[in-house]
Amino acid sequence: MLIGANVSMSGKAMFPGAVAEAVSYGATTLQFYTGAPQNTRRKDVSEMRIPEGLEAMDAAGLSHLVIHAPYIVNLGNTKKPENYTFAVEFMRGEVARADALHAYSMPFHPGAHVGAGADAAIAQIAQGLNEIITPEQHVTIALETMAGKGTEVGRTFEEIAAILDRVTYNEKVMVTMDTCHMSDAGYNVRDDFDGVLNEFDHVIGLDKLSIVHVNDSKNPQGSNKDRHANIGAGTIGFDALYAIAHHPQLTGLPKILETPYVGTDKKHMHAPYGVELNWLQSGNYQPDELAALAES
């Protein structure tokens, strides 16, 4: 079962440190950002300790490394054309970093139209991807399903399909499903995930799916809020998320948790992933374990 969580690659530990964190949670795959997701400052790949990280992954039996693109990049903003060239150049560098790390796929928030309308953003996002992607790259860029807050593009499968249809090297572009985002966008993830998968297959095609972000949601279906909740603590619920994690049509895909840290205050926060991954692997849901972790 390919399941893991978003971990940290930072400090002196870098890539091996991220692997060690994933191993401590009992993960079989992992995701991290190459730097802070809120900015575009990045270390050179020579500082990331890549050979050691790859060796550690192999020794621990981890595979399908996922590198998340920073969400600060907005290829869809047609109102500030001065930012477009930088966004394209940064993403070219991010693809190179992901390839150096031997990454499998890269979740990417498509962008927001900031008032110009989805059609304008979709056209520019596709244009940007056509300037970023090369036939030589190994990592695929996986457009993420979005919750629909603000002017986000990618809130429907049709919007994602419209981008995919315009990309020249289409085999280099895939899709990331986020359970929280899809529920918040109006898809019935909790009660009819098979129906959601069927709709995705008809609009986009299941062969384009490369990653599943497994997150509960703090808000009801269709809220367009994008606020992740801990597994079982939200409106999707443990049973639905467990079924998604074990869905036979998703067996070969990495499932990544991006759930909130827990704690009594901001100075005493703990990663929930060891507890939550055990629940999803075993089916033994014990919500008191997360409460105890928060109090520890």
Cβ contact 30:107 at 8 Å: no
Cβ contact 143:174 at 8 Å: yes
Among candidate residues 161, 159, 180, 179, the one with its CA nearest the CA of residue 170 = 161
Question: Is 213 a known ligand-binding residue?
Answer: yes
Question: Is 144 a known ligand-binding residue?
Answer: yes
Cβ contact 3:29 at 8 Å: yes
Question: Is 181 a known ligand-binding residue?
Answer: yes
Question: Is 68 a known ligand-binding residue?
Answer: yes
Residue whose pair of structure tokens reads 């969400």 in the numeric block: 71
Cβ contact 53:18 at 8 Å: yes
Question: Is 138 a known ligand-binding residue?
Answer: no
Question: What radius of gyration do the chain's Cα atoms show?
Answer: 18
Question: Is 191 a known ligand-binding residue?
Answer: no
As beta bridge partners, residue 85 has: none
To 5 degrees, how large is the angle CA 19–CA 98–CA 63? 40
Cβ contact 142:106 at 8 Å: yes
Cβ contact 121:198 at 8 Å: no
Tokens standing for 69? 């693109």
Question: Is 228 a known ligand-binding residue?
Answer: yes
Question: Is 109 a known ligand-binding residue?
Answer: yes
How many other C-beta atoms lie within 10 A of the C-beta of residue 270? 16
Helix (H, G, I), strand (E, B) or coil at 185: helix
Known binding residues are: 68, 109, 144, 178, 181, 213, 226, 228, 258
Binding residues for Zn(2+), as ranges, are 68, 109, 144, 178, 181, 213, 226, 228, 258
